[in-house]
Amino acid sequence: MHTIDAPDPTASPDDTGLDPARWDRLQALGHRMLDDMFEQLQTLRERPVWRPVPEEVARRLSVPLPRRGIGAEAAYEAYLRDVFPYPLGNTHPRFWGWVLGSGTPVGVLSELLAAAMNPNLSGLRSGAIHVERQVLAWLKEMLGYPATSSGLLLSGGSMANLVGLAVGATARAEFDVAAEGWAAAPRRPVVYASAETHFSVEKAVRTLGLGTDRLRYIPTDAEYRIDLAALDAAIEADRRAGLHPLALVGNAGTVNTGAFDDLERLADVAEREGLWFHVDAAFGAFAALDPELADRVRGLERADSLAFDLHKWLLVPVEAGAILVRHPEAQRAAFRVSGEYVSHVAGGIGKDSTEFAELGPQLTRGFRALKVWMSLKAHGADAYAALVRRNVEQARYLARRVTEHPQLELLAPVPLNVVNYRFDPGDLDGGGLDELNHDILVRLHEDGIAAPSHTRLGGRFALRVCITNHRTRRNDLDLLLRETVRLGADLLEGGEPASFS
């Protein structure tokens, strides 16, 4: 059979074969792909949340480089057989692990549109540049962050933390760090953050060469918020020791429990001490959309740099995050670029060709702005505000159901959308409970029932449910608790445990 990629006998010798010989066939294949995707999205609830990749499939995905192509149709068949049936599960209504957004159908289509236009958002002129500028303006408006700030879309929260701290470190260094490097620092820099801070901040400190020995993890209170007295004491001790307090990281929605540091007070401390104030609001930023929750993010607008994700609570497909910086000059100073090949021209494609490239580490940048723009245009900011409210109410509902059940224990306060709990039949010690709940978690995943993740709180193994999912319904949460108790009882009666270490 003539496949869509087979050489066309009428083709010119200049044809590469990378565009199809038969566009109509590739178009038909494209339509089939869309149909398959939409069918899958409409039937998620009937499928397991997750299932492991069988050995034979993994083997088929580990073969030598193909020298000759098999054509797009055959490649798609291979995808349908070996990739498509094994999703991570985060599009499913009962996925609540880590912090992963569920994605939306409009987001899926936007990715296709962006790939077809395939622009580079370094700054080179195209409609895409205006879309990213527009999206950044909307995000500032949504979060109440100054319209005069600069910003950039990035791959996610980790990159946003890295870029925010890079700007802060360059701005607050007491010497020309870009030229001389940190080894030349007259006083060694120190960064402060609560012990509940996401590891991406530590990664950023490491990557920037600031030294993790001088990342001060400040203890938290019973609600997992930074202890302000301990912060003051640490800054004072460092000053006495001749160090340079450089930056302070605040949390709006910690990864473990969704806790909010007192950002207003942290902004005061930063101002008083001359620290760069960076806020990691990966998912908590969107609490700003809800009038009842908005109080928790008060002070966020005073951050020198603000990092947040769009693939979490804004549900755009992975990857998308953003950094906003109050001081555009500082952001440009940290990432300035030069080269004859990008020098000024008065017009054409290359006018201001590095507008975005000089705000972050990348030169060639994808059109991730489109999925955000399409989503906000299609659904409107109010739909996302309603989603935040719905997920927070679902978390409160789940927490209430946990506390009402004699064999379930709530392990942390629920200030936002994260619930930590465990099964406790009443006659096990701490180690036994950890082991049992670990085994429950593995069974929930491997039986395809639901996907919470886990953490440790006060040394106790917790089943952790983080709801950034527009498909979840209350009865999904009821099912989770029912299955937790059923599996717990089953495992106690000698059901197959998972190995625990």
Ligand X SMILES: Cc1ncc(COP(=O)(O)O)c(C=O)c1O
Residues that bind ligand X (CB under 6 A): 98-99, 156-158, 198, 200, 254-255, 280, 282, 309, 321
Q: Specify the residue, 318 or 487, whose C-beta has the smaller distance to ligand X.
A: 318
> Where does residue 176 rank: exposed (0-12), middle (13-18), buried (19+ CB within 10 A)?
exposed
Report in angstroms how near the CB of residue 403 gets to ligand X at its nearest.
Answer: 25
Report in angstroms how near the CB of residue 303 gets to ligand X at its nearest.
Answer: 14
Residue among 469, 486, 466 at smallest CA distance from 407: 486
Q: Specify the residue, 221 or 409, whose C-beta has the smaller distance to ligand X.
A: 221
Q: Specify the residue, 196 or 434, whose C-beta has the smaller distance to ligand X.
A: 196
DSSP string, 214-225: GEEEE-B-TTS-
Strands lying side by side in the sheet with 150-154: 150-154, 321-325, 305-309, 276-280, 244-251, 189-194, 215-218
What whole-number distance in Å separates Cα of residue 258 and Cα of residue 296? 11
Q: Specify the residue, 354 or 375, whose C-beta has the smaller distance to ligand X.
A: 375
What whole-number distance in Å separates Cα of residue 140 and Cα of residue 153? 12
Strands lying side by side in the sheet with 460-466: 408-410, 418-423, 460-466, 453-457
Report in angstroms how near the CB of residue 311 gets to ligand X at its nearest.
Answer: 6
Torsion 162-279-267-411 (CA) sign: negative
Are the CB atoms for 351 and 125 separated by under 8 Å? yes
Amino acid letter, residue 212? T
Q: Specify the residue, 99 or 477, whose C-beta has the smaller distance to ligand X.
A: 99
339: helix, coil or strand? coil
Bridge partners (DSSP) of residue 456 are: 461
Q: Name 139's Cβ contacts closer than 8 Å, sequence gap at least 6.
A: 145, 151, 322, 324, 372
What whole-number distance in Å separates Cα of residue 373 and Cα of residue 386? 18
Q: Specify the residue, 145 or 260, whose C-beta has the smaller distance to ligand X.
A: 260
Report in angstroms how near the CB of residue 312 gets to ligand X at its nearest.
Answer: 7
Report in angstroms how near the CB of residue 154 gets to ligand X at its nearest.
Answer: 9
Q: Specify the residue, 254 or 362, whose C-beta has the smaller distance to ligand X.
A: 254
Report in angstroms how near the CB of residue 98 gets to ligand X at its nearest.
Answer: 6
Q: Specify the residue, 259 or 444, whose C-beta has the smaller distance to ligand X.
A: 259
Are the CB atoms for 266 and 299 separated by under 8 Å? yes
Q: Specify the residue, 170 or 254, whose C-beta has the smaller distance to ligand X.
A: 254
Q: Please count the other Cβ atoms lying within 10 Å of the Cβ belonging to residue 248.
A: 28
146: helix, coil or strand? coil
Report in angstroms how near the CB of residue 377 gets to ligand X at its nearest.
Answer: 23
434: helix, coil or strand? helix
- Plot region of 339 (φ>0 → left; ψ -120 to 50 → alpha; else → beta): left
Q: Specify the residue, 157 or 488, whose C-beta has the smaller distance to ligand X.
A: 157
Report in angstroms how near the CB of residue 470 gets to ligand X at its nearest.
Answer: 18
Report in angstroms how near the CB of residue 100 gets to ligand X at its nearest.
Answer: 8
What whole-number distance in Å separates Cα of residue 488 and Cα of residue 443? 10
Report in angstroms how near the CB of residue 318 gets to ligand X at its nearest.
Answer: 8
